[in-house]
Amino acid sequence: MAEMMYWQGILRAHDEEMARDPLVFAMGEDIGVAGGTYKATSGLFAKYGEQRVVDTPISENSYTGIGVGAAMVGARPIVEIMSVNFAWLAMDQLMNNAAKIHYMSGGRIRCPFVMRVPGGTAHQLGAQHSARMEKVFMGISGLRVVTPATPRDAYGLLKSAVRCDDPVVIIEHESMYNLKGEVPDTEFFTPLEGVEVMRPGKDVSIFAYNISVHWALEAAQQLAQEHGIDAEVIDLRALKPMDRAGIAASVHKTHRAIIVEEDEAPVGVGSEVIAIVNEECFFDLDAAPVRVHALDVPIPYNRRLEKAAIPNAGDVVAAVRKMLGR
């Protein structure tokens, strides 16, 4: 194992895949000469040149379309959108072309296209740079949606996405690029489907994804040490397709479900998890599933209001204690 930062895992995956396959290339705003807003492509421009590490104009729909077109004829592009909010500008290409061409061509055309998007609430970036768009991408048939919570998965999911023949959206988090964690020295791939048990437990299942995994783990430690509650923490990781069997297996064991997300509750990831829990585990439940989520407001710029708008580990602890009557 080697300890590295989240952004270093992404960079390593880029480098390995570009060295392996000359049809892999990267595109995005400031990813070349500048090395990326979050360093995730630093050094690649000097190593692979301007034809494979492409600095683009500020025109998300156009360069996403170029990437989608290149994927349709055999290349394997990795397109970086500087902020997930700007992915709205590329939705036509992503939704109407990348996600649908395999089906509209009767299976004759594949689109091995990867879009990387940093998002989430961080650093007082304000409402127009703090979107949580997981539920939007999840609603598009034909896309795969994954979101790494650790440097290991930041590396492994990108490796798997590049080699996948389907379009994949990877949602990263702006607050985690300097997060440190262990990553195997040898090449490996994180599956694009399935959940991961981050902490086993027997009293309650806490489902989380992206940065909320870390809130859930912190809460689980506090619940064990201070309240004698043994919480299981599940990283959903692959949001589309979602692992119904993995979710059900945890709830069958604990009989309770808490869903933690940084996003607002309406029509969200938590809503989908609760639907799965009700459909698969209704007669196993000892309590109604509960969502811990952000306020339904645009993210404020003010630091205190920004923090107040999103949940934290304390909110998770409070929700679990209330559910268990502790």
DSSP per position, 46-78: HHH-TTTEEE--S-HHHHHHHHHHHHHTT-EEE
Specify which residues 168 forms β-bridges with: 114, 144
Catalytic residue among 17, 60, 80, 264: 60
Tell me the C-alpha distance between 212 and 149, whole Å: 8
Nearest to 141 by CA among 160, 118, 167: 167
Catalytic residue among 14, 102, 129, 214: 129
Tell me the C-alpha distance between 290 and 208, whole Å: 12
Nearest to 240 by CA among 290, 173, 292, 171: 171
Contact 96, 60 (CB under 8 A): no
Residue 265 CA from chain centroid, whole number: 17
What lies within 8 Å, CB to CB, of 122 at 6+ separation is 130, 173, 174, 175
Tell me the C-alpha distance between 148 and 183, whole Å: 13
Dihedral, CA atoms, 219, 217, 221, 151, nearest 10 degrees? Answer: -140
Maximum C-alpha span of the chain: 60
Active site residue 60: yes
Active site residue 129: yes
Residues with active-site annotation: 60, 129
